[in-house]
Amino acid sequence: MTIRFDLSEGSLRAQSHYRQVALDQMRPISRKYDLAEHALPREWVDYWWREGRFGAKGGAALANDGFVTICLQAEQLCWGDAGLYLRMPTPALGGSAVSAAGTKEQQAKFMAGFREVGGQPIWGAMAITEPHAGSDAAAIETTAEFDPATDEWILNGTKIFCTAGEGASTEPGGFVVVWATLDKAAGRAAIKSFVVPAGTPGMQLLGCEKKLGIRASDTATLRFENCRVPKDNLLGRAEVKKQEAAKAGEASSKDSSKDSSKDKGFKGAMATFDASRPIVAAMATGVGRAALEFLIEELARQGVVIRYDAPPRERTAIEKDVIEMEADLQAARLLTWRAAWMMNKGRPNNLEASMAKAKAGLAVTKITQKAVQILGPLGHSRKLLVEKWMRDAKINDIYEGTQQINQLIVARRILDYSSAVLR
């Protein structure tokens, strides 16, 4: 049996297109919006909405490799600038939650409405993290109470670190998918997702975080005070089954993508990460590649050429470092493509998605830090983007599940242990 890692012609075309977009549109303004945190990068937003998203022959390449091409796009654009990538107008983040937790009818209804609103850019966000609920999503305290008199759900609570939260909550056509509990006593089984359109009364933007890296992105804090949404904006069904609540700890440790029930509930919401983690891994690969490519080019300018054919015992410390960095980057990329390919095929990829995310998070952190170290004072200087890439890198090891959480998931899947057994 022959194992091939070749990309399709369509994906190669898309890869080349997005590399050019990153080079021409993102790199020139990368430092500008790193320094001007929270400023809307209007030139980038306008370009992406008008031209960038229709590249590679109108997205036809997506028909060939689907999710793999999405990951190729993420890597190339994050090679340009990870913060700007997160700021580009797209419903993808919130849309992935709709796809994972919504019924087929809801997917058709909501996703069709999110594509374009009056020709204006739109954003989609996902509101999960709370001041006291981070990696443990089951600890969510935001509540959802049904009002039978109006056929509406009433949301109350505060969400933090909402990527694209500013645009999604304030711009016309934007939307936020909010995780909330229907019954705190029922635990995980009562966690549901709700679609909240931008401008909904009771949803308030409190502000954006001042961050170490990805400063061009709008990482928002949102408050929900008696925020009312229609009954049908609950993704999935409202029932909280007793047996589901009793077995939630065990069920959530199994592969969420195997759940075929109509009421996906917490498992459906968690399945969102099976789609988003490979994308984050691809983002990390893009940042890591930016730093590694620059390092190799700078070393070559200084007369240091990596001798790949030299015996290991004869290589310099720098040569050994660079070769190890390249190996880590390639391993992360191949794990990412595998998880994405499994998504394309409709195969459970919970294990593979977490493996890709964990490996890429470690790799990008190590690669960017080592690049700064090898370059010395120049690496620390704002004259270069290397120090920015090091700052941008760390978040990839944190969001969409921390390094520790993803390693825990990998261990549970391999050993077939429940969350109650392996914590």
- 331 CB-contact burial (10 Å; exposed 0-12 / middle 13-18 / buried 19+): middle
**Quick one: pLDDT at residue 113?**
59
Residue where a domain terminates, one of 90, 114, 145: 90
d(CA 155, CA 195): 11
For the entire predicted model, the pTM comes to 0.90
Residues whose CB is less than 8 angstroms from the CB of residue 263 and which lie 6 or more positions away in sequence, other chains included: 236, 237, 239, 241
Same-domain status, 253 and 332 = no
Instruction: Report the sign of the C-alpha dihedral through residues 13, 16, 18, 24, in that order.
Output: negative
| 391 located within any domain | yes
Report residue 369 as tokens. 């830090």
Same-domain status, 77 and 215 = no
The CATH number for 338's domain is 1.20.140.10
**Quick one: pLDDT at residue 262?**
47
Same-domain status, 101 and 206 = yes
d(CA 98, CA 177): 8
**Quick one: pLDDT at residue 105?**
85
d(CA 309, CA 141): 57
Residues whose CB is less than 8 angstroms from the CB of residue 247 and which lie 6 or more positions away in sequence, other chains included: none
Select from 328, 337, 401, 390 the least CA-distant residue to 359: 328
Same-domain status, 129 and 255 = yes
**Quick one: pLDDT at residue 254?**
47
Domain with 125 in it: 94-266
Residues in the chain: 423
- Phi and psi dihedrals of 347, rounded to 5? -95, 145
d(CA 168, CA 172): 8
pLDDT tens, position by position, 297-330? 999 999 999 999 999 999 999 999 999 999 999 9
Same-domain status, 47 and 147 = no
Same-domain status, 232 and 338 = no
Helix axis angle for 272-301 and 386-393, nearest 10°, is: 160
| 178 located within any domain | yes
Candidate list 75, 130, 352, 400, residue with the active-site label: 400
Q: Does the active-site annotation cover 105?
A: no
| 2 located within any domain | no
The CATH number for 165's domain is 2.40.110.10
| 3 located within any domain | no
Helices (H), 376-402: 377-380, 386-393
How many folded domains does the chain comprise?
3
Residue where a domain terminates, one of 56, 90, 124: 90
**Quick one: pLDDT at residue 337?**
95
| 84 located within any domain | yes
CB 119 within 8 A of CB 182: no
**Quick one: pLDDT at residue 144?**
97
Same-domain status, 127 and 57 = no
- 289 CB-contact burial (10 Å; exposed 0-12 / middle 13-18 / buried 19+): buried
Could you give the angle at the alpha carbon of 115 between the alpha carbons of 112 and 121, nearest 5°?
A: 155
**Quick one: pLDDT at residue 252?**
43
Residues whose CB is less than 8 angstroms from the CB of residue 120 and which lie 6 or more positions away in sequence, other chains included: 49, 171, 172, 173
Could you give the angle at the alpha carbon of 225 between the alpha carbons of 266 and 173, nearest 5°?
A: 75
Residues whose CB is less than 8 angstroms from the CB of residue 233 and which lie 6 or more positions away in sequence, other chains included: 153, 194, 195, 196
Same-domain status, 282 and 361 = yes
CB 51 within 8 A of CB 123: no
Rg (CA), the chain: 22
Q: Which residues of the chain have pLDDT under 50?
A: 56-63, 243-262
Same-domain status, 374 and 319 = yes
pLDDT tens, position by position, 151-202? 999 999 999 999 999 999 999 889 999 999 999 988 888 999 999 999 999 9
| 298 located within any domain | yes
**Quick one: pLDDT at residue 100?**
81
| 422 located within any domain | no
| 50 located within any domain | yes
Same-domain status, 281 and 247 = no
Residue pointed to by tokens 């390919």: 341
pLDDT tens, position by position, 259-278? 444 455 677 667 889 989 99
Same-domain status, 106 and 233 = yes
d(CA 423, CA 418): 9
Residue where a domain terminates, one of 225, 249, 266: 266
**Quick one: pLDDT at residue 239?**
82
**Quick one: pLDDT at residue 90?**
87
Same-domain status, 33 and 180 = no
